[in-house]
Amino acid sequence: MNKPVKSRAREKVDLLIVNADELVTLSSETKKPRVGKQMRELGIIRNGCLAIKDGVIVAVGKTPEVTKIYRAEIILSANGKTVLPGFVDPHTHLIFAGSREDEFQMRVEGASYMEILSAGGGILKTVRETRKASVEKLADLGIKTLDTMLEHGTTSVEAKSGYGLTTKDEIKILEAARRVNQLHCINVVSTFLGAHAIPPEFKDNPNGYVNLILEDMIPKIAEKELAEFCDVFCERGVFNLEQTRRILVAGKNYGLKPKVHADEMSMLGGAELAADVGAVSADHLLFSSVEGMKAMAEKGVVAVLLPAAAFSLMMGRYADARLMIDSGVPVALATDFNPNCLVENMQLVIAFACHFMRLTSAEAITAATINAAHAICRANEVGSLEVGKKADAVILDAPNHKFLGYHFGVNLVDKVIKNGRVVVDREKQGEMVLIRETE
């Protein structure tokens, strides 16, 4: 068959995604995270089209206009579907061994998270199991988790250490994260969280452990370039404000950007501290003060909210996301994937954000994509569908973006495109056969 003359003149790209009912671009003039009403502006193109070459987006627009200029051998129809940027999950504890289902049963029956931790369980149980595991074993487990995340539309994640609590074991975990980043198509950004709990060896000398972090762990991890961020679990009975500040300042001196687990279970002033030390993000924030939120807004600290973690705490309390958005704090969402909150699925996190924190679907999508990319300093390359960015996209089997949050408990992903390649394709995963009794 002869091709029409016009098509020969068109520039060839690797992949075209055409006819999307909604193409959610999240494009923006500014390079800043979205705040206030901007969180509702998704930059939707109807009958949208993406042109992709060498793993990068080369054109975004209406289908007839983009296909006038570009042609491709692989053309995916997104007719009846919604195309979004791949989800960015900016807070996970990806690398660990073992599980904690028995403690889950204890929590269902009324034990609190902090009671379990104080009795040597919780994080400390996972530390015991992770210390026994090899880099290879940890990497294998991490890859399995990333596969599930990818199937649910996540294309970039942050991964924290924090289940080693010795220099050797923290390095081992960060080496596993590095390996996983090399082996898996999902991009993994690493955070050093040596200050996740006081290890049993330092039970009676917590400041001795803080000194080990300052004098041994941070210099070695920075030297090996194993992490980009430094985080602290700032909480009553774990690391206090002064210890948190010392660790974050020391990390900063070695080039590690600060992040904080702040005000998760009590109002300690973690949000204020995050603003004061110039943290990239403060995470959890269930008990943050109004002053703390204002300070974060002023300094542009991203609030990474983790409604699945709040759900798993079973306290019936969630971060006050509405007040944060109204105060001008940039809000992001993450899974907080960890052995206490075993969830890989950002779609469920979006549903929780809508139901428990009253975010609209549009706000939650912004929080799970471009603002999440800002929370890990990757907004220059991911988080929106714009020319020049990585071609990381999700095609959802949903006619519009409002189905995210609304249709929950199922995986809406039809296809995932990572670096311009189709890496998840539901059509190729085999038809489900429904067997029904016949009369």
Cβ proximity of 95 and 180 under 8 Å? yes
> What stretch of H or E contains 75?
strand 70-77
CB of 325 to ligand NIG, least distance (A): 22
335 binds ligand NIG, rule: CB under 6 A:
no
Least Cβ distance, residue 55 to Fe ion (angstroms): 31
Instruction: Using CB atoms within 10 Å of the CB of residue 300, give its burial: 0 to 12 exposed, 13 to 18 middle, 19+ buried.
Output: middle
Kindly state the DSSP code that residue 36 receives in the 8-state scheme: G
DSSP per-residue codes, 153-186 = TEEEEEEE--S--SHHHHHHHHHHHHHHHHHSSS
The correct pick among 45, 149, 301, 309 for binding ligand NIG (CB under 6 A) is: 309
Measured distance CA(354)–CA(362) in Å, rounded: 10
What letter would DSSP give residue 217?
A: I
264 binds ligand NIG (CB under 6 A): yes
**Region near Fe ion per CB under 5 A, out of 12-20, 219-227, 333-341, 417-425:** 333-341
The residue (of 16 and 309) whose beta carbon lies closer to ligand NIG is: 309
x/- map, 217-256, ligand NIG, by CB under 6 A: ----------------x-----------------------
The residues, ordered by sequence, that sit 6+ positions from 149 with a Cβ below 8 Å of its Cβ are 89, 157, 186, 337, 344, 345, 346
E strand map for 113-239: 154-160, 187-195, 229-233
339 binds, among Fe ion, ligand NIG, none (CB under 5 to 8 A by kind): ligand NIG
Query: Nearest approach, Cβ of 162 to ligand NIG (angstroms)?
Result: 7
Yes or no: say if 192 and 239 are a contact pair by the CB < 8 Å rule.
no
Q: Which stretch binds ligand NIG (CB under 6 A): 50-58, 60-68, 239-247, 338-346?
A: 338-346
By the 8 A CB rule, do 49 and 16 touch? Answer: yes
Indicate the residue among 309 and 391 with the shorter CB distance to ligand NIG: 309
Say whether residue 337 binds ligand NIG (CB under 6 A).
Answer: no
Pick one of 272, 320, 336, 363: the residue that binds ligand NIG (CB under 6 A). 336
Query: Please, which residue, 320 or 336, has the CB nearer to Fe ion?
Result: 336
d(Cα 334, Cα 345) in Å, to the nearest integer?
A: 9
Closest approach of Cβ 337 to Fe ion, in Å? 9
Q: Which entry of Fe ion, ligand NIG, none binds 401, CB below 5 to 8 A by partner kind?
A: none
Q: From the CB of 240, what's the least distance to ligand NIG, in Å?
A: 15
Indicate the residue among 66 and 319 with the shorter CB distance to Fe ion.
Answer: 319
Torsion angle of the four alpha carbons 382, 384, 388, 389, in this order, in degrees rounded to the nearest 10: 20
Which helix (H) or strand (E) element contains residue 135? helix 135-151
By beta-carbon proximity to Fe ion, the closer residue of 169 and 336 is 336
Among 16, 52, 123, 217, binds ligand NIG (CB under 6 A): 123
With CB under 6 A as the rule, give the number of residues binding ligand NIG: 13
Task: Tell me how far CA of residue 196 lies from CA of 52, 247, 264, 273, 372, in angstroms.
Answer: 41, 12, 13, 17, 22
d(Cα 42, Cα 123) in Å, to the nearest integer? 38
Q: Which residues bind ligand NIG (CB under 6 A)?
A: 93, 122-123, 126, 233, 261, 264, 309, 336, 338-341
Q: Which residues bind Fe ion (CB under 5 A)?
A: 336
